[in-house]
Amino acid sequence: MKKPMVFKLVAAVLLLTSYVGFSQEKPVTNLLNKYIKASNDLSATKQKNTVLALFDDKYKNNTAFVGLSGVVKRSTTGFEQFSRQLDESIKNKKYTFKMQVRDIVHESQKEKAGTVSALVNFESKVDGKVAESGTILMSLVGTLVRGEWKIIQNNTVRVSEGKDIGNCVCYLFSKGTSFFGAETYYPAGVEYDKEFQSFRVGTRDGKRVVKGDDKDYTWAENGDVLDGSRKIGHASTPEEAVKVVLNFLYAETCTEIKFS
pLDDT in tens, 62-119: 999 886 667 788 889 999 999 998 998 888 877 788 999 999 999 999 999 999 999 9
Encode 236-246: b = buried (16+ Cβ within 10 Å), e = exposed.
eebbebbbbbb
CA proximity to 169, closest of 151, 153, 187: 187
> Within a 13 Å sphere around the CA of 75, how many CA atoms are in the beta-carbon half?
13
What pTM, to 2 d.p., does this model score? 0.62
Q: Is the pLDDT of residue 21 over 80?
A: no
Classify domain 25-160 at the CATH topology level. Nuclear Transport Factor 2; Chain: A, (3.10.450)
The interaxial angle of helices 27-45 and 79-91, nearest 10 deg, is: 40
CA proximity to 44, closest of 83, 89, 109: 89
The domain limits of the chain are: 25-160, 167-259
Q: Coil, helix or strand for 140? A: strand
pLDDT in tens, 134-164: 899 999 999 999 999 999 999 999 887 754 4
> Within a 13 Å sphere around the CA of 114, how many CA atoms are in the beta-carbon half?
21
Confidence band, pLDDT 50/70/90 cuts, at residue 214: confident
Confidence band, pLDDT 50/70/90 cuts, at residue 9: very low
Residue 179 pLDDT? 96
